[in-house]
């Protein structure tokens, strides 16, 4: 996925947005919700994985400027449409493809960071090689909404084997060519998916030095396109 038609800019901030850099839209995670069953009238649109990807960016909480960024590939996905309304869909993120971009000129450090992000400290990709977002509801925003979003999208986000439901704003556009789906920037709390490293939410890091704390916030934005199957 490439960040033009790139899915997420799902900025799967693997991490770690500094508090004072966190976007305005914070997302609460709740228990997983039931996914609506498809009907005979539903049409499927396939996500264009060759031009989409997850973009992530991470920060320490108190060490401004200490950040990393990169990409994660989306391996498959689809949207479900009834009439002209988005009613469902999902996409799968290949966590084994975590790629750092800012250390490209330092191959040794790049490989070290990527290996750490894939380890049990963060996303434990040996045990959980994929993450998944599955839409559970799509509601048009209220009249007069000025956010730029057309819908509030609720979905089950599965990460490290833990599934939580989140609701995010999104711009959904139906065209002759298919569907364009994009979100403004939002954040989720990584600790709710048991991503522990240097998070003071967990006892083993309760006494960590201030400059080493990695914030719980994960900064995310999503951009996807799909064509009719």
pLDDT at 65 > cutoff 90: no
- Compute how many other C-beta atoms are within 10 angstroms of the C-beta atom of residue 71: 23
* Structure confidence at residue 59 as a pLDDT band (50, 70, 90): low
Domains identified in the chain and CATH numbers: 19-228 (2.40.128.110)
pTM: 0.84
Q: What pLDDT score does 11 carry?
A: 41
Mean pLDDT of 190-208: 92
Q: What pLDDT score does 16 carry?
A: 39
CB-based contacts of 62, cutoff 8 Å, min separation 6: 18, 210, 211, 213
Q: What is the pLDDT of residues 118-160, one digit of tens each?
A: 999 999 999 999 999 999 999 999 888 878 899 999 999 999 9
């Amino acid at each position: 996925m490439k960040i033009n038609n790139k899915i997420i800019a799902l900025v799967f901030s693997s991490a770690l947005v500094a508090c004072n850099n966190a976007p305005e839209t914070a997302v609460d995670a709740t228990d997983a919700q039931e996914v609506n069953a498809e009907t005979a009238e539903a049409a499927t649109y396939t996500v264009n994985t060759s031009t989409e990807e997850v973009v992530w960016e991470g920060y320490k909480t108190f060490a401004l400027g200490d950040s990393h960024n990169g990409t994660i590939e989306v391996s498959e996905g689809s949207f479900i449409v009834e009439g002209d309304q988005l009613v469902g869909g999902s996409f799968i993120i290949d966590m084994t493809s975590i790629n750092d971009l800012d250390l490209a000129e330092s191959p040794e450090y790049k490989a070290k960071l990527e290996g750490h992000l894939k380890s049990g400290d963060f996303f434990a990709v040996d045990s959980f090689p994929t993450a998944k977002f599955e839409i559970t509801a799509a509601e048009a925003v209220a009249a007069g909404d000025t956010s730029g979003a057309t819908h509030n999208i609720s979905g089950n986000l599965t990460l490290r084997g833990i599934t939580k439901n989140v609701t995010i704003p999104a711009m959904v556009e139906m065209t002759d060519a298919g569907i364009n789906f994009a979100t403004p920037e939002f954040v989720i709390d990584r600790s709710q998916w048991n991503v522990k490293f240097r998070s003071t939410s967990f006892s083993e890091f309760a006494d960590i030095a201030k400059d080493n704390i990695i914030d719980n916030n994960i900064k995310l934005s999503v951009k996807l396109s799909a064509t009719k199957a």
